[in-house]
Amino acid sequence: MKLEPETVEISVTGKPVQAKAGETIIHALWTAGMGDAIKTGCVGGGCGACTVTIRFKDGKPGGTDLACLRPVEEGMEVFPCPVESIPAVAPSLEPDVASLQAAFPTLNRCTKCGSCTTACPMTIPVMDSVLRMQEGRFDEVSDDFTTCIHCGLCRFVCEDKVKPHNMGLWVRRSQGLSRDNPSLDQSSLTESGDELEKEWSYLFTGDPKERLRRAKYFREHGRAGA
């Protein structure tokens, strides 16, 4: 099956750009020689550099998105919306509502407008999560922000100067710092015994071909051969 790709016209900062249907805004800009028009990082939806606002001539709802994931559509008007990062705030070994409030004094200023949730390109329930932060439900908050790429749009659109994604990271890091990791007890971190050196010496003996043979044996049996 061979179909010729349809051409659509979008505009970026007012400049018309011809694009192939199905490609992303970033790739359309590359083809048009306008790659510098929108700040770009990973080109895979993971770094949050290419934040944009989108409008449609026909009044269809637009909003915010990542230009590297958003396919072009006829009549789409794209405006770069780079969000500068703000200074980091050290996490706490004893995370609770009081220490979060001390780290982020605007925690309780949220007026529940929901803009942050609408702005999030990762479909995180941002506003609900801010309310959970106010109640100290940190396990849920950490879960909410698992997919956060720190594009900063939730903070950018907040009229009340709440910093949802920064708080989300603070909660996650603080929980990470303070939780128990039974897999990392002393016995799993320190290996000892006669076997240890014997096994290394088994794996390091012989010409390259012999070593490969020994490594194959070891991975199959979990121990050195005779």
Shorter beta-carbon distance to other proteins: residue 46 or 105:
46
Contact 82, 60 (CB under 8 A): no
Position among 58, 189, 192, 226 found at the interface with other proteins (CB under 8 A)? 189
For other proteins, what does the binding mask look like between residues 34 and 73, x meaning CB under 8 A? -xx--xxxxxxxxx-x-------------------xxx--
Q: How far is the CB of 80 from other proteins (least distance, A)?
A: 14
* Rounded Cα gap, residues 70 and 54, in angstroms: 10
Position among 9, 22, 56, 225 found at the interface with other proteins (CB under 8 A)? 22
Q: How far is the CB of 166 from other proteins (least distance, A)?
A: 9
Q: Which residues contact 20 (CB under 8 A, 6 or more apart)?
A: 5, 6, 7, 8, 28, 31, 72
Please tell me what DSSP assigns to residue 32: T
Of 10-18, 54-62, 105-113, 180-188, the segment contacting other proteins by CB under 8 A is 180-188
Shorter beta-carbon distance to other proteins: residue 38 or 162:
38
Position among 102, 113, 131, 177 found at the interface with other proteins (CB under 8 A)? 177
Q: How far is the CB of 5 from other proteins (least distance, A)?
A: 7
Q: How far is the CB of 187 from other proteins (least distance, A)?
A: 9
150 is a contact residue toward other proteins (CB under 8 A): yes
* 31-68 core/surface letters (b: 16 or more CB in 10 A; e: else): ebeeeebbbbeebebebbbbbbbbbeeeeeeeebbbbb
Q: CA 35: distance to chain centroid?
A: 22
SS3 letters across 96-144: CHHHHHHHCCCHHHCCCCCHHHHHCCCCCCHHHHHHHHHCCCHHHHHHH
For other proteins, what does the binding mask look like between residues 202 and 221, x meaning CB under 8 A? -xx---xx-xx-xxx-xxx-
Contact 37, 12 (CB under 8 A): yes
Q: How far is the CB of 70 from other proteins (least distance, A)?
A: 8
Q: How far is the CB of 51 from other proteins (least distance, A)?
A: 12
* Rounded Cα gap, residues 50 and 81, in angstroms: 8
Q: Total binding residues for other proteins by CB under 8 A?
A: 72
Of 97-105, 108-116, 125-133, 142-150, the segment contacting other proteins by CB under 8 A is 142-150
174 is a contact residue toward other proteins (CB under 8 A): yes
What Cα–Cα distance (Å) separates residue 27 from each residue in 19, 68, 195? 9, 8, 55
